[in-house]
Amino acid sequence: MICPKISLACVLLLLWFTSTGDAAYMKYLDPKQPTNTRIKDLISRMTLAEKIGQMTQIERGVASADVMKNYFIGSVLSGGGSVPAPQATPAVWVNMVNEFQKGALSTRLGIPMIYGIDAVHGNNNVYNATLFPHNIGLGATRDPDLVRRIGEATALEVRATGIPYTFAPCIAVCRDPRWGRCYESYSEDHRVVQQMTDIILGLQGDIPINHTKGVPYIAGKDKVAACAKHFVGDGGTHNGINENNTITDEHGLLGIHMPPYYDSIIKGVATVMVSYSSLNGVKMHANHDLVTGYLKSKLHFRGFVISDWLGIDRITSPPDANYTYSVQAGINAGIDMVMVPFNYTQYIDDVTSLVKKGIINMSRIDDAVRRILRVKFIMGLFENPLADLSFADQLGKKEHRDLAREAVRKSLVLLKNGNSPNQQFLPLPKKARSILVAGSHASNLGYQCGGWSIEWIGGSGDITVGTTILEAIKSTVADSTHVVYSENPDESFMKNNDFSFAIVVVGERTYAETTGDDPELTILDPGTDTIRTVCSTAKCAVVIISGRPVVIEPYLPMMEALVAAWLPGTEGQGVADVLFGDYGFTGKLPRTWFKSVDQLPMNVGDLHYDPLFPFGFGLTINSSQPGFSGADRLRDRNGGMIYVVLSLVLSVILMHASGIGIF
């Protein structure tokens, strides 16, 4: 047996073979062998139980070294907010991951497990991690290089906790802001989303020249496996209802929702997660035509397909009504690894029974295991299965926080600045007698970070380490400037104080997934009252902290300036950097800002397009022609006709190239 790099896996296997008197050469343990040779050799040695174990992903709360060993578990994950201890250090994370890994390595064949986590805007479950702006803010930057650098930083902070796999990026094309996951989408325009898939190159590393299309690529120990999600059409559900039905034709599917997957696969993405949603009434977790027929066969994706959390359970309505059928439908559709995440014994028993009855073919099991092993071999898990603390100093490091601060600056979109170009209110002066900072989101780090921040739906207050917008303002203005903070001042307070100007920071509550579905899209109370009270007395700039456009038109005349800051994450200093003129406004709307929710859904190119602020809008400061170019303005004022024509042409080309009929 050849083990050029000594690891626990090799040691355990050497001891086992010595004890049995079998010192045969094992091709799958030889990193000099081609990946396909190693896969073929290992699969030939595996029992059905070992194969099904590889297809099983369980939650850390039910995992242990014994469970890993006894059930040959192939993967473990942390659900949203699932941590080994409150404010756990990198050492605590690494020790937990290694405990599970040692259990996996102690099995007969010593196949390492892969640990996954939702690092969707930084390593967001982990205390003290750098939390970057959510995807909608990154879409406003229109900066693929920035997103790529964020991927690199995120990979290092995930590796700091001993984890090699993240369920990111979300490449949904959100077509209705009422959807509770809209902030996880970079844009309503698939072209912007396609550009932002460069984050995969940051997470996984640059793919080599002439790399085979569809084959995953992970560059080394400082990179992580990525996951493009949620396949496919999750951003187009009817009325923006999470996990609902996406009703579209072939043009809508191939021209809007599918393009980011083309780019992700070309960039070597390791895994793809299936959507909870349905497509024209067919649950995606059971959609063989798209998962196997299109993703695997037409797009030649060679990584593994993973279900969402309890995703196969939701194939039936109500969920889990017929679990055995759900297992059958999901795996036969082409799902390779199932995020169980708790009741793994029933899942394993059902798969075993279905295979023995011939309902699930062994060829389907072998295809799944082959794909899972390919990712594990490519990322070097067999040679380096155990985590260490070599990346511990990467968590929350200054360079990453500076990068996040840069991302915040570039994500800000200036929607209003005075009543005319000659009466601009921003940038604000750093030297002023007295400034009022008001609003529920001005001094609340949890609100600033949004969902998927320490907890699944986020939280309020000092949930982690970071800089609030209030703290940022105080550190930016001159020492002589008096900064007064009042979350929700009343009229008496305003009349009894004379402020040079006010900054009002309000926005949405925190939410994730279905908890964020909202047909009203209003600012969290008492946000609008705060705007009325403050802006009726003092000249004010309003900063909106939200995961999507919200109702703002009725209050627009009251304010001097309006800034969309999205969900900026831990580095609130980036907001003050731009408000006070150290940097200019460069962000452009990644999605249309509606006048009324009655207009929804409304996207650029629609015949009824009549926005408050159109897609691509964004003012600049001290410019004779603020905002975007005359060509862009003409395009948006005419309902995005250029966009429509280009999209139609692209879709025709894609449909012709695919040569299939899905509907």
Between CA 91 and CA 388 the distance in angstroms is 8
Task: Please state, in angstroms and rounded to a whole number, the distance separating the CA atoms of residues 69 and 590.
Answer: 47
**Rounded Cα gap, residues 34 and 622, in angstroms:** 59
Q: Do residues 183 and 548 lie in contact, with contact meaning Cβ atoms separated by under 8 Å?
A: yes
Q: Which residues, 6 or more positions from 494, have their beta carbon under 8 angstroms from its beta carbon?
A: 533, 534, 536, 537, 538
Longest CA–CA separation in the chain, Å:
89
Contacts of 490 (CB under 8 A, 6+ apart): 533
**Can you tell me the distance from the alpha carbon of 276 to that of 314, in angstroms, rounded to the nearest whole number?**
7
Residue bearing tokens 């009741």: 343
In sequence order, which residues have a C-beta less than 8 Å from that of residue 11 and are 6 or more positions away? none
Residue in 451, 430, 406, 418 with CA at minimum distance from that of residue 563: 418
Q: Which of 243, 263, 513, 577 is catalytic?
A: 513
Residues 6+ apart with CB under 8 A from 318: none
Q: In terms of Cα–Cα distance, which of 464, 571, 407, 566 is closest to 129?
A: 464
Residue tagged active-site, from 176, 184, 188, 308: 308
H helices of 421-539, in order, are 445-449, 469-476, 491-495, 527-535
Residue 598, classed as helix, strand or coil, is: helix
Question: Around 501, how many Cα atoms within 13 Å sit in the side-chain half-sphere?
Answer: 20
- Asked if 509 and 550 touch (Cβ cutoff 8 Å), the reply is no
- Residue 495, phi-psi category: left (phi > 0), alpha (psi -120 to 50), beta (remainder): alpha
Tell me the C-alpha distance between 569 and 132, whole Å. Answer: 5
Reported in sequence order, the residue ranges of 85-209 that DSSP labels E, i.e. its strands, are 114-117, 165-166
Handedness of CA 624, 627, 630, 631 (dihedral sign): positive
Q: How far is residue 266 from each of residues 189, 349, 532, measured CA to CA in Å?
A: 20, 37, 50
Q: What three-state secondary structure class fits 201?
A: helix
Q: What spatial distance separates the first Cα and last Cα of the chain, rounded to whole Å?
A: 52
CB-based contact 35:73 (threshold 8 Å): no
H or E, element range at 41 = helix 35-45
Question: Are residues 162 and 94 in contact, defined by beta-carbon separation less than 8 angstroms?
Answer: yes
Is residue 560 among the annotated active site residues? no
Q: Residue 460: left if φ>0, alpha if ψ -120 to 50, beta else—which one? A: beta
Is 308 designated active site?
Answer: yes
CA dihedral 220, 222, 228, 230 (to 10 degrees): 130
Looking at residue 467, the DSSP 8-state letter turns out to be: B
Q: State the catalytic residues.
A: 308, 513
